[in-house]
Structures are given as structure tokens and as C-alpha cells.
Amino acid sequence: MALHLDFHALHSVPVSNLNSDMSRMPKTATFGGVQRARVSSQSWNAAIREHLTEEQNIEHGYRTRDILGLIGEHDPKAAEGLGKILADKSNKVLLFDTKTKQLKSTFFFTPSHLDALTTLGRTGTSEVSKALAAIVTDKTNVPIDVALFGSTLAALPEANVSSVGAAMHALSTHEVNLEFDEFVGMDDAADRNFGAHLGVNDFLSATFYRFHTINLDEMRETVGPDRVSAAIRAFTRAFAEAVPAGRRGTFNADTRPDLLLALIRQGRPEPYVNAFEYPVAPSGRGYVAPSVDALEDYHETHCATWGAPVDGWLVNTVTTTGTRFPYTTSATFGHLLDVIGDRSAGLVAP
């Protein structure tokens, strides 16, 4: 039976537009019969991947169609040779558009793939499809971000890397109403300052429930047993610290979660979003404290009904009268980072 590491978070953001729709309005969804604030899983996943690669400087994959441009930055001659290989009519693996000089679809290239493609571009080959297939089906040293978010290649399913993680769209624990701000851009060069630009910023404020799960057994198979601990620790930090960059220059809502609950479960993942199907009401306490109460009640009942987790940790910045999160250890975020990787790796050790 598979082991899953489930991350639950209550995360409040003030005036913000973390993830907008095509009309630049904050995304919403109806849940429990009322309108909720929503941030798509793709949006928060992108922020997590950016945190892994840029904040933590972890070796990462490159998702691109412009493989020639990527290789050409470091080795123009190899890029030229690879372009000829990809344009060869016998290439049935990385389908190539000879007009744009790009692949016809994106692929998540690992550093190992790039090294091998660079070598192939410089040396050439008489068996194009066979050589390319051997490269893209190589799954040694899969970076953490590729393991977490997966990679697919329609022309060659053997190259696919199944995602070891799955995220839920973040939803507010309560009903929300969209708001807007009319703003004026001033013209400093004019004799008298006047509005050179008029516009409207749409925004909302919300306490979000977030959920992400990682299949620990698949993580071990994908990245190798020696890298599980570091991978889990890196993801835990990114999950807690990464915030989507939508309208950051205007609103800057880079807050941290008010509560982080990490549970290792045997069997299927167990999201707790239904703790908020009945929307939380502020009752003079804001939304965070009653959201914690609702999550406590749901966790306690869920464990009593469906079974307890194997292990768990609680990082909570909200002052409450006692805690009813059974099967968890209260921890600081630093302590959680110190223990969660080794504990997770130990449970899936060969």
C-alpha cells in the first residue's frame, strides 16, 4: 500500500490578485453554494518550481520547445548539428518544425538529456530516431521538479515521467466578493501633474486552504532512495514559502501560511477541503482562527472515521485554546525541515 505525504495549509493573503483570468480579474469558483477565491494548481506549482530552481538553486529540468536556442547558448556548433539531426525526415521522436526551428511541442529536458544532445549534435549519427529515443528515455538523475510535476512526450510514451505529486486548486475557506481600485498614473513631465493614465485593479483578500500530496514510493523510484530526503525537504520549504507572482508589483502579498499540517498516510491521499464546504464566518475573529477550528474538527473526525496517519507535524502561528490535532507533533518550521525528509525517506527505504 502506497505511502503519501499530504501537505495542508491555511494561508491568508491581503489585498491581492495572485492568479487572474483572461479579463485580469482574480479567479474564483463556486463551492458550498458561495463564491470562493481560487488560485489554480498550475499557478502555485509554477511558484513552487521557481522557488526550487531560483531560491534554492536545485538542479532542474528545462521545459522548452526551443532546444536549439538552449543548447546554442553554450555550444553553437552543437546546436547547428542537432538542428540538422532534428530536421532529418527519419526523426520520429522529437518532432521538429523546420520553419520556426523549434520542437512542435514542449518537453522537460533534464541536464543529462542536454549533455547527451550536445554530444549528439557535435558527433552526428546515422540512426536519428534510435539515438534520440535512447537520450530522451534515459531517466537517470531525474531532477526534483521533473519528478514532482512529470513530463510527457506524445511521440514516445517510454520517455514519460509520471508526476509523483498532485495539487488541488487553492480555495478560500469563506465566501468572497471581488473589489476594485481605480488608480491614476501621474505625468511628471507636465507643467502641472495630471493623470496620464487611468485604470482599474481588481483584487480580493482571502484565507486559502491549500493541499498538495506526494507519493513517497513513486518519489523513491523516480529520484532514487538516496535523494528522497533532500527532495522532500526542498519541496516542504518551497510549499511553505512560494507564492504566485501575479500582480506582485502592485500588491506584494508574499505572506507565509498561518498553519501547515504535514501528514504521512498509508493508502490514498486525504485532502481536507470539505472542512470548508460550509463557508467559515468571521464572527469578529477574522477568518484564520475559525478556519483553524474547522480544520481541527475535520481532522479529528476524519482520523476517527477513516484511520490515523503514520506520522504528522503541525506548524501553527495562530493562538488557540489548546490543539486537537491528534497524531501530530507541534513543531517550528525549522524543526519540520530538519526531520521530515529523513522520516519520509526512512519509511520507503529498501
Contact 239, 6 (CB under 8 A): no
In a domain, residue 338? The reply is: yes
CA atoms within 13 A on the CB side of 138: 17
132 neighbors 91 (Cβ within 8 angstroms): yes
Q: Position of cell 481560487? A: 38
Same domain? For 213 and 322 the reply is: yes
- pLDDT of res. 329: 92
pTM: 0.89
User: Nearest-CA neighbor of 287 among 25, 6, 40, 37?
Assistant: 37
Which pLDDT score is estimated for 324?
A: 75
- Identify whether 52 is part of a domain: no
What is the block-wise mean pLDDT of the chain (350 residues), using blocks of 10 residues? 95 81 81 93 92 91 94 95 93 93 93 95 92 93 92 89 94 87 61 58 84 97 94 96 71 83 95 96 88 94 95 86 80 95 92
- Tell me what pLDDT residue 350 has: 78
Total number of domains constituting the chain: 2
| Same domain as 66, residue 41 | no
Q: Which domain holds residue 233?
A: 3-45+165-178+204-347
What stretches of the chain show up as alpha helix (H) in DSSP?
41-50, 67-72, 76-87, 111-123, 128-136, 144-149, 216-223, 228-241, 248-251, 288-306, 333-347
In a domain, 113, yes or no: yes
Please give the biggest Cα pair distance in the chain: 75
- Is residue 315 within 8 Å of residue 259, measured between CB atoms? yes
Report the pLDDT value the prediction gives residue 254, as an integer from 0 to 100: 74
Task: Answer yes or no: do 19 and 68 share one domain.
Answer: no
